[in-house]
Amino acid sequence: MNAPLVFAPEVRAALDAGQPVVALESTIITHGMPFPQNVETARRVEAEIHAHGATPATIAVIGGQIHIGLTEAELDDLAQAKGVMKVSRADLAVCLARGAYGATTVAATMICADLAGIRVFATGGIGGVHRGAESSFDISADLAELGITPVTVVAAGAKAILDIPKTLEVLETDGVPVIAYGQDEFPAFWSRSSGLKAPLRMDSAAEIAQAQIMRARLGLSGGQLVANPIPEEAEIPRAEIIPAIEQALREAAEGHVSAKEVTPFLLSRIFEITQGRSLEANIALVLNNARLAAAIATEIAKA
């Protein structure tokens, strides 16, 4: 294997020393939040991981290379760049071959983290089965990646714009452990509650780390999804967020929004409908996920 990886010095040093490292995606910067909140949030998330004893590694494609960790200047450039490719498994190689800017989705970040030897990844929410998938067949590549790539992904559940019951069914089919952290219910991104029981529950970072280590010992493919509920003080309850989601979905259908444009469109409209509350909640949950991911990575490094 001769993947075109470029490591930020602090990430390379941490990996060489066996210290905890947490991967971070870059689509949240380019497609998930407006400027300047995107770069401000990215820096806050990295600082949160540092504060909890791990090294952050934001991943992106720049100039035909996979960057494992970004400099301040690279982060600024990415946050303001135009025409950045939203990169998943299908187009990662194409983006590299073109020498284009690429922001990594959950799936692509998992691939790159695995190539770099990073075992824990913090994100906002995973992609999943879109509503109406029985006719559109719109299912995120994130789900299949969780079934084959050995990285623990810490997220606030699946994005609430998705069909969460079908998303959980696909994860079960793919043999992915879905672990709710500290509660029995599967969280729904902006809300702590989805109305659905999680398949598994764990209450400590150490237990989650040991489960990943055991999967490796057993030779099981794939990663783990750790569903970490948004802090209570930051959540938008289901009764409040569902009408906003339904309105955004109707507008997407009326505007024939499809494929990779669906999620950015919906997140943008929900931001407008909730008068910015959805973005505030998004920032809070990403920071919360970063803290838990740092704790899990620390426990893995101890083992």
**Residues taking part in catalysis:** 25, 159
Q: Which pair of tokens denotes residue 58?
A: 């934001």
Q: Is 302 annotated as a binding residue?
A: no
Q: Is 140 annotated as a binding residue?
A: yes
How far apart are the C-alpha atoms of 254 and 248, rounded to whole Å? 10
Q: Is 106 annotated as a binding residue?
A: yes
Please say whether the beta carbons of 18 and 260 come within 8 A: no
List all residues 6 or more positions away from 281 whose beta carbon is below 8 Å from its beta carbon: 190, 230, 234, 235, 236
C-beta neighbour count of 195 within 10 angstroms: 11
The residue written with tokens 């989601």 in the block is: 245
Q: What is the torsional sign of CA 96, 98, 102, 104?
A: negative
Q: Is 141 annotated as a binding residue?
A: yes
C-beta neighbour count of 31 within 10 angstroms: 19
How far apart are the C-alpha atoms of 37 and 57, rounded to whole Å? 19
Q: Is 77 annotated as a binding residue?
A: no
Closest C-alpha to 223, from 167, 295, 125, 148? 148
Residue 29's H or E segment, with its range, is helix 27-30
Q: Is 197 annotated as a binding residue?
A: no
Residue 55's H or E segment, with its range, is strand 55-62
Annotated binding-site ranges for Mn(2+): 138
Residues marked as binding for substrate?
Answer: 86, 106, 140-142
Annotated binding site: 86, 106, 138, 140-142
